[in-house]
Amino acid sequence: MGWPRDDAKLDRVRALMEERGLDALVVRAPDNVLYLTNFWGMKGYDACVFPREGEPTLICLEASEEDAARTAWTTDVRLFRGYDPDDPRPPLSRTLELAQEAARGYERIGLELSLGTQASDRMVGEPTTFTSAWFEGFPGARDATPLLAEARAIKTEQELERMRLANDIAAAAMEHCKLVIEPGMSEAQIAAEWEGFVHGEGTGWEGEVELALGFSLVWSGPGIKTFTATTSRPVVEGEPTLFEIWVCADGYWCDHTKNLVPGELAPEYAELERGLMAVYEDALAFVRPGASLAELDRRIREGIAALGFPGQPSHPVCHGVGARAHEPPYAHQAGGGEIAEGMVLAIEPGCYRAGGGGLRVEDNFLVTAAGVEKLSSFPDGVVRA
């Protein structure tokens, strides 16, 4: 299930490298390796040396040779052993040596020096991290993270096609949950229904997705809070069950918050839904090429304060989505930046009551010359099950 080389995004990266005077990028974050080579590694031991001119080099595990041959856009693939009987060092030591060899001859090198978060490899559960040896291995390297963030903020047609697949899988999983959710089942049980659908039905989706993974936080009624885990609390009749959900389809993501309610929505929640949806719709109307990201954040938070929730939410209300579920740009009232055509933004206002309960809505929107295009077919607000 390979994709043709996306020259539009690779040319954008090279143009930014020329502008910043860089001869080569050396990247190790799985999402940046994917972005530059189309190879999504199994264990995060892989790297890419991406020159401004010439063929990129993919460095990957010997066990991934078949995957690289099938999916990677470069023919220069250099393999290393995960276990080497003559070398007791961890595999990343061998990655570093091959990266140094491939980067030899380039004077001005960019590394991910200020990278704060990265997407997982395909194994997910035990992500790898950078060590000091990696940074010390390229003396005088410059920070390439801002360059990659700028390039990745504008999506190509191929990237949008891949993100639409993730959005479609997430929506279909919500339609499944709409049919099976019942009062009394636990948050964890309905979360498992959603995640099971994503992995079971999304893998192989439309013959275009090799691997789909779902991630969720599910809370119901008084369990709705921010940054808490899914538990055995029961689904509550008449109150929202909130699905904070992410789908990764072959390395491209969507990020949604959807809500289901078994039975008739309680009047106090219906009132909160009306108020929050008004804030949401005002934000969507504001999103246009050239609009201020700082003003978007300020506008949403002022609307939420007017609903009686000052200082909320504690999470970002707008961020980019792409080869990570959360990536630049971020809207912040004390920051800068403008919205640009071709960005995909997650817009997510939320209100949370002291002690538990509340509501959040979120979808992913492509910024067009005329405004925004919603990428998920599943409705916003609270959907009756």
| Pairing label, strands 212-220, 327-330 | unpaired
131 and 183 assigned to the same domain = no
143 and 67 assigned to the same domain = yes
> Which tens digit of pLDDT belongs to each residue from 275-329?
999 999 999 999 999 999 999 999 999 999 999 999 999 999 999 999 999 999 9
d(CA 49, CA 108): 12
346 pLDDT higher than 90: yes
Quote the pLDDT of residue 108: 98
Q: Does the residue 271 lie in any domain?
A: yes
Upstream peptide bond of 313 is cis (omega within 30 degrees of 0): yes
236 and 297 assigned to the same domain = yes
Q: Does the residue 2 lie in any domain?
A: no
d(CA 268, CA 217): 23
Q: Which of 116, 137, 152 is the last residue of a domain?
A: 152
d(CA 169, CA 212): 8
d(CA 30, CA 118): 7
Q: What is the CATH number for 49?
A: 3.40.350.10
Q: Does the residue 1 lie in any domain?
A: no
143 and 198 assigned to the same domain = no
Tokens of 331: 């809207």
> Which tens digit of pLDDT belongs to each residue from 102-137?
999 999 999 999 999 999 999 988 888 889 999 999
49 pLDDT higher than 80: yes
Instruction: For 180-238, give the DSSP string.
Output: H--TTSBHHHHHHHHHHHHHHHHTTGGGT-S-EEEEEEEEEGGG--SS----SPBP-TT
The dihedral over CA atoms of 92, 97, 99, 105, expressed in degrees to the nearest 10, equals 160
244 pLDDT higher than 90: yes
Quote the pLDDT of residue 365: 98
d(CA 257, CA 277): 13
Whole-number percent of the chain with pLDDT over 90: 97
Mean pLDDT of the chain: 97
**337 backbone φψ class: left, alpha, beta (φ>0; ψ -120 to 50):** left
Q: What is the CATH number for 344?
A: 3.90.230.10
d(CA 82, CA 62): 7
Whole-number percent of the chain with pLDDT over 70: 100
Tokens of 151: 């390039």
Q: Residue 90: phi, psi to the nearest 5?
A: -65, 160
Tokens of 162: 């891949």
Q: Which of 105, 129, 152 is the last residue of a domain?
A: 152
Tokens of 379: 């409705």
Is residue 227 very low, low, confident or very high in pLDDT (cuts 50, 70, 90)?
confident
- List the Cα angle 348/351/357 in 5-degree steps: 120
- SS3 call for 292: strand
Q: Which of 121, 152, 183 is the last residue of a domain?
A: 152
54 and 170 assigned to the same domain = no
- 22, 52 contact by CB (below 8 A): yes
For residue 57, give the amino acid letter. Answer: T
98 and 233 assigned to the same domain = no
Quote the pLDDT of residue 125: 84
161 and 140 assigned to the same domain = no
Tell me the helices (H) and strands (E) count for the chain, helix number first. 10, 17
122 and 54 assigned to the same domain = yes
Per the structure, the complete domain to which residue 258 belongs is given by 157-384
**381 backbone φψ class: left, alpha, beta (φ>0; ψ -120 to 50):** left
For residue 353, give the amino acid letter. Answer: R
For residue 52, give the amino acid letter. Answer: R
Residue with tokens 């390796």: 33
> Which tens digit of pLDDT belongs to each residue from 54-102?
999 999 999 999 999 999 999 999 999 999 999 999 999 999 999 999 9
Is residue 1 very low, low, confident or very high in pLDDT (cuts 50, 70, 90)?
low
Number of domains in the chain: 2
> Which tens digit of pLDDT belongs to each residue from 156-205?
999 999 999 999 999 999 999 999 999 999 999 999 999 999 999 999 99
